Amino acid sequence: MAALDYLTRTDSGALYGKPGLDLLVVETGLCRAVIALQGAQVLEFTARGRAPLLWLSPSASFTPEAAVRGGVPLCLPWFGENRSDPSKPKHGLVRARLWTLEGSEEQADGEVRLTFSFEHGGDALFADSFACSLTIGLGKSLTFALELTNTAERAVEYSWALHSYFAVADVKDVQVEGLSGVEYLDKTRDFARDQLEGNQAFTGEVDRVFEQAPAEQTIITPNPIKARSENCHTVITWNPGAELAATTGDIGADYTGFVCVEHGNAFADSWRLDAGESARARLELSR
């Protein structure tokens, strides 16, 4: 690809003092973003004149084939624990694998779109082959357009989520609007089914899976965050709270600085694709 004035190739040593991962920095009149080629994971996004959208853990490690704590990892082809084999890594495999930057284009309004691809040939973690394309739009907002194709010769089930870590001043003061009246599975109570009334608050550990969730949520903070999705029917709200965070090396006392509101299709909303079939979804995040 020819040199582009808005895109710089660097690495986590140069940017965060911790070598290990190749990174892309995009700087335009509309925003600044940092993306890791591993996982096609957006690590930072700030629209000009706005507060940073995403939280990246101050103690994140940038180790090849390990998940980076923060930004927007894509969890796929399974979300959470692997239900047929809990010894497999949580949240699938694509967040810990290298993706390919296929192309980049600048729109008339100044938005830059980067398209990444990942092809899975089938392995011990996930036997069936699949292909993913993720187009990341970097403008006044941050957008994701995901296409997943089943390249295997049989029907396969996939669950997935764009696992956004949003930057907040203090999680205890944050509420999520847009999930009232929706049923959820409470992972902190052995997946007990319940229904949220009002806004979602974060006064301790929260780990909830909302199936058939509405397409829009607002994260209420002094600089509110909006999430709008298309064909993402599951929303997951997560913050580990003080106790669990203390046992998680790359979070610790910094758990107060983020809230996760994740969008995808998991549990009852999982995608079942026939051989050769594709499915698409979009997510737009802004602050």
Ligand X SMILES: O=P(O)(O)OC[C@H]1O[C@@H](O)[C@H](O)[C@@H](O)[C@@H]1O
CB of 243 to ligand X, least distance (A): 13
- Give the Å distances, CA to CA, from 156 to 39, 121, 150, 180: 21, 14, 7, 32
**Minimum CB distance to ligand X smaller for 20 or for 110:** 20
Residues 227-256 that bind ligand X (CB under 6 A): 236, 238
Which residue in the list 44, 211, 262, 284 is annotated as catalytic? 262
Closest CA to 65 of 33, 34, 41, 101: 41
Residue 69 or 287: the one with the smaller Cβ distance to ligand X is 69
In a 13 Å sphere around the CA of 108, the CA atoms on its Cβ side amount to 0
Name the β-bridge partners of 206: 239
Of the candidates 91, 163, 233, 263, the residue annotated as catalytic is 163
Distance CA 115, CA 175 (A): 33
| 163 lines the binding site for ligand X (CB under 6 A) | yes
Residue number with CB closer to ligand X (48 or 189): 189
Report the residue from 55, 71, 72, 91 that binds ligand X according to the rule CB under 6 A: 91
Write out the two tokens for 284. Answer: 């737009």
Cβ of residue 55: shortest distance to ligand X, in angstroms?
13
Q: How far is the CB of 163 from ligand X (least distance, A)?
A: 6
42-46 long-range Cβ contacts below 8 angstroms, 24+ apart: 42/71, 42/72, 42/136, 42/142, 43/68, 43/70, 43/71, 44/71, 45/138, 45/142, 45/285
- In the DSSP assignment, the letter for residue 255 is G
Measured from the CB atom, the residue of 20 and 80 that comes closer to ligand X is 80
Gap between the Cα atoms of 225 and 234, Å rounded: 18
Token pair for residue 104? 């980049």
Task: Find the residue with minimal CB distance to ligand X.
Answer: 90
- Shortest CB 274 distance to ligand X, Å: 28
Active-site residue 91, yes or no? Answer: no
List binders of ligand X among 14-53 (CB under 6 A).
none
Phi, psi of 12 (to 5 degrees): -70, -20
Tokens for 100?
A: 């390919």
Closer residue to ligand X in complex, CB, 7/266: 266
Contact 139, 177 (CB under 8 A): no
Q: Work out whether 67 is an interface residue with ligand X (CB under 6 A).
A: yes
Q: Applying CB under 6 A, does 207 fall inside the site for ligand X? A: yes
Query: Considering the rule CB under 6 A, would residue 185 count as an interface residue with ligand X?
Result: no
The CB-of-124 to ligand X minimum distance in angstroms stands at: 19
Position among 20, 52, 58, 80 found at the interface with ligand X (CB under 6 A): 80
Q: Contact between 168 and ligand X (CB under 6 A)? A: no
- Is 262 part of the annotated catalytic residue set? yes
Which residues form the interface with ligand X (CB under 6 A)? 67, 80, 90-91, 163, 187, 207, 236, 238, 262
Residues recognised as catalytic:
163, 262
